[in-house]
Amino acid sequence: MSSHGHRDQVEELRASAAQLPWGYARAELLQEAAQIADGHQDLDLAFEIRRDLIDAARYSLRYDLFAAAFAWCFATAQRHPDRFPIGQVLRYYQYVIGNLANFAHVGRAQYDDLHADACRHFTAHGYSLRTLMIERRSAAIDYADPVMAEAAERDVPRHRRDDLHMAPEMEVLRQVEYELFREDDAAAARALDAHAAADRRSRWADPWAGNLAVRVYARLGRTAEAERLHERHHRQFEAGGGYGWSWGNHISYCAATGRLARGVELFRRQLPVAMSHADTLTQFYCLSHAVPLLDALAAAGATTVHLPHVPGLPAGDDLDGVRGWLDATVAAITADFDRRNGNGYYTDLARRRRAGVI
């Protein structure tokens, strides 16, 4: 093999990855390419490939690959600022630390240290802290800390938009999530309505917004709109990517509206994707929506339910066995996060989901 033969290997993997949709398979091909570059100590190529890997892992919600690729690029840019401008990777810092809050072992002190470090780097390089504050407000939801969320909310408008700022659509969706955390459905609906009315919005955000709107509009009595958005978006879930938390809303919506067969089919598709995530908070946002669905199945006289196998799920289709596993798994996750956060937020959220407050 020539001295540059490894570059041909890497480019073949990169070209193959580019032909795939955003998802796990694409990220894993790029991870393989990065390992080849590492093996040949080709620093420039390894950096270039990991830049691609960061995007692929982020969009497929592979937080493990995302964090590892970012940490490598960030450290490399700090060691070689003449070769790798730090601005190329600094934008991702704000998202990496936000994702860490999804892991129960990452406590508030560790998060706060990383957030402060990110703020120092952004300030030192002349970048605005606006998106950092939006992501801090989002992390406050994971930590179930309304004081932290309100402080970040006050900070957001104090900072300008700049080259590292998140897309306007993403900012709206984060605002909706904050209003839902505050239990202000009317404010969440206003933000969703504004998003839907924006002619120049990017359409990638529409399924996420629609999934959230199904929940908000149903609770506000805007049933026709909730129904329309459910019909438009519930089939758009793609098993090849990561699990977006808003998808579970369609499962509990089916339970609330009596579409039990459809709800089971949605849960069947979403379950293995959610359970493939390393962070259990993502698992919670699927499983907690399925609890009222399986309760409704039992109340309707069903005794079996067929689901794809995931670790821990009892063999066979016995509905009581599946419900027992589901209850135990949700209880374990809520206990872990409530213990970390020092409150009962997730236990109460699971209780309200079971009661049909979608």
Tens of pLDDT, residue by residue over 224-269, are 999 999 999 998 887 667 889 999 999 999 999 999 999 999 999 9
What are the CA-CA distances from residue 229 to residues 54, 94, 172, 338 (Å)? 31, 31, 18, 33
Residue 305 burial class via C-beta count within 10 angstroms: exposed 0-12, middle 13-18, buried 19 and up: buried
Query: In terms of domains, do 113 and 212 share one?
Result: no
Domain-ending residue, one of 47, 82, 117: 82
Query: In terms of domains, do 152 and 259 share one?
Result: no
Question: pLDDT value at position 204?
Answer: 83
DSSP 101-114: TTSTTS-HHHHHHH
- Could you give the CA distance from residue 298 to residue 199 in angstroms, rounded to a whole number? 45
- The top-scoring range by mean pLDDT among 63-77, 269-283, 320-334, 344-358 is 320-334
Query: In terms of domains, do 160 and 172 share one?
Result: no
- pTM for the model: 0.89
Query: In terms of domains, do 300 and 358 share one?
Result: yes
- Could you give the CA distance from residue 50 to residue 65 in angstroms, rounded to a whole number? 10
> 127, 162 in Cβ contact below 8 A?
yes
pLDDT band at 1 (very low <50, low <70, confident <90, very high): very low
Query: In terms of domains, do 334 and 302 share one?
Result: yes
Task: Report the share of the chain in percent with pLDDT over 90.
Answer: 77
Average pLDDT of span 187-200:
92
Question: pLDDT value at position 358?
Answer: 67
- The dihedrals phi and psi of 318, each to the nearest 5 degrees, come to -65, 120
Domain-ending residue, one of 56, 82, 108: 82
Question: pLDDT value at position 64?
Answer: 82
Query: In terms of domains, do 153 and 250 share one?
Result: no
Average pLDDT of span 154-174:
93
Residues 6 or more apart whose Cβ sits within 8 Å of residue 252: 215, 289, 290, 292, 293, 353, 356, 358
pLDDT band at 2 (very low <50, low <70, confident <90, very high): very low
Question: pLDDT value at position 169?
Answer: 92
Question: pLDDT value at position 263?
Answer: 98
* Residue 101 tokens, joined: 């809050």
Count of domains in the chain? 4
- The predicted-structure confidence for 23-36, as pLDDT tens digits, reads as follows 778 888 999 999 99
What sections of 40-107 are H helices per DSSP?
43-59, 63-79, 87-90, 93-100
**Structure-token match 């890997």, residue found:** 53
Query: In terms of domains, do 214 and 283 share one?
Result: no
Question: pLDDT value at position 239?
Answer: 67
Q: What is the span of the domain harbouring residue 75?
A: 1-82
Query: In terms of domains, do 313 and 331 share one?
Result: yes
Query: In terms of domains, do 248 and 270 share one?
Result: yes
Query: In terms of domains, do 352 and 242 share one?
Result: yes
Query: In terms of domains, do 231 and 244 share one?
Result: no
Query: In terms of domains, do 255 and 333 share one?
Result: yes
Q: Among residues 66, 61, 60, which one has the least CA distance to residue 34?
A: 66
Average pLDDT of span 214-224:
97
- Could you give the CA distance from residue 119 to residue 113 in angstroms, rounded to a whole number? 10
Domain-ending residue, one of 164, 191, 224: 164
